[in-house]
Structure 1
Amino acid sequence: MLIGGAILSVVILGVFSATRAYQEYQLQQIDEKIALRAKEAEKLYGQGRYLEAAHIYDELFRNAHSTKWKEEFRRNTASALTMYGNQLLAARRYDEAMAAYQRALQYAPLPEAYAGMAAVEQQLGNREGAVNHWAAAAQHSRGAQAQAYQRNAAREQIAIGDEAYQRGDLQRALQAWQTAVELAPGTAEAQEAQRKFEQALQELLQRR
């Protein structure tokens, strides 16, 4: 009985070892396939074929079992879609560009995607939309890049104030310039907005 048990134990251990080895082999094969697909996507990305790259990265993202790989492919998909949006923006295909940026944000809140949306809004003449997207880009950035986005938001906000002032709407102009100061504190844009705010406020007080 002991001999039989010993043999059974060896058989079980042998099966377990073989199964584990096969699982490791499968994982290795999967990793190799992932690596090949990732290289294919990287090549397409480098060639400027961003939408094709995005499709592969999305496939890898959805099939990845490792959290690390899943996160990397998720951000890669967002990056490729953002670059595709930039291509569409350059081609003046604004609606399609906006859709590409929005898709990118479903994967990751890349500041570049928000910046692309802001650029689309600028081209369409929607200053308030541009301000909101520049501000969002700043919130998802750091350092000098964040300040650059803040300044872009402030410039658009100043323009909103200028347009209101030209229409004779001093109250709206004052609000816009005050917001511009808050959007990019300590910048040249904030100083410009503050100066315009004070001049318009003085003008408003003189009218009363």
Structure 2
Amino acid sequence: MKTRDSALWEKVSETPSCIYSEEPVDVGQRIQAQILTAFQERPIAAGKVVLQPSPHTLVGMETNVYVEAAEQVFEMVLLDQTIRIIATPTEFELNYGDGSLYGPTSTPGAPLHQDRWGEQTQTSHRYAASGDYQVVATVHFSGTYSVNGGPMIPIDGRAAVPSEPQTLRVWRAETRSVADNCLINPTGVGC
């Protein structure tokens, strides 16, 4: 004679079950392990170094140097998941080309109006000798990412992207007092 419990047991045991041959994979952990590499391999556009005045300046004159860099967004598929990466410029390093460096700093500098060129700024530089110098900025980008439109998660690490070098020609200026009249002495200094 079947009891109510034995009939229920037979019904439960008839239910098909699924057996996995391997442990389920945590895709989130695998993405997190690969995201820094994916972030650093993205074609992040370099910042642009801007010089004031340019392309020429004078020995001993403050030359304003600043960096233009913007936030960038990348969409990609990683492990069959849609990933959105946002690269944000957070630190800047300046190499003035004469052996002088500035940074890293969170300040990219800023443009000056032309009538203020020659003023000292936080990122300006004075060259001690004439010559041609290659000025380069390295922008450090911090990143965040989201998986399938989820919340933004910080990326543990940064990407350093150098700018294209800008050539700055530093000239030496000479001043002389002259008393010659160029009409009388056309070969005099300043004529």
TM-score range, shorter chain: under 0.3
Instruction: Indicate the structure whose relative CO is greater, using CA pairs within 8 Å and at least 6 residues apart.
Output: 2
Q: TM-score, normalised by structure 1?
A: 0.23
Q: TM-score, normalised by structure 2?
A: 0.25
Larger helix percent: 1
